Amino acid sequence: MIPKITNGLIAICFLAFAALQLNDPDPIIWVIIYCLVAALGILELFNLSNKYFTRVLYLAIFLYWICYIPDFIEWAKGGFISITDSMQANTPLIENIREFGGLTLALLVVQYYFYRSYKYPK
């Protein structure tokens, strides 16, 4: 069973991730995704989680994550160029890979809660 402190830390981290997205060119989708993951941590913290919310969120993030697979493949074929360089108009791949990384992190957290909802159904 995941400790309550971990649920709280997950919520705080994803709220911070959402706040950092406010200066992004497309902040709305990322703020929503990160806030929903934070909400999942908050719901778990107070034992109010809902398996249907968890499963729908997992499916939604997974489907969105799949959309970034071609960018990941292109990045891999290009030799895994650094994604820490500054963003330039001629290299949108860097931004896409950063978004892929954020989605991967969100997906891993929601996946944990998803599998947990099967093990400990409410």
pLDDT at position 122 over 60? no
Say which residue the tokens 């290009």 belong to: 78
Find, among 49, 41, 16, 32, the residue nearest to 108 by Cα. Answer: 41
Task: Check if the beta carbon of residue 14 is closer than 8 Å to that of residue 57.
Answer: no
Does pLDDT of 89 surpass 50? no
CA triple 88-90-96, angle to 5 deg? 75
Is the pLDDT at 39 greater than 50, yes or no?
yes
Neighbouring C-beta atoms of residue 48, cutoff 10 Å: 10
By the 8 A CB rule, do 17 and 102 touch? yes
SS3 121: coil
**Cα dihedral across residues 63, 31, 10, 44: positive or negative:** negative
Count the domains in the chain.
1
Q: Assess whether pLDDT exceeds 90 at residue 110.
A: yes
**pTM for the full predicted model:** 0.84
pLDDT at residue 120 greater than cutoff 70: no
The mean pLDDT value for 14-22 works out to 92
pLDDT of residue 98: 82
Domain of residue 57: give its range. 4-119
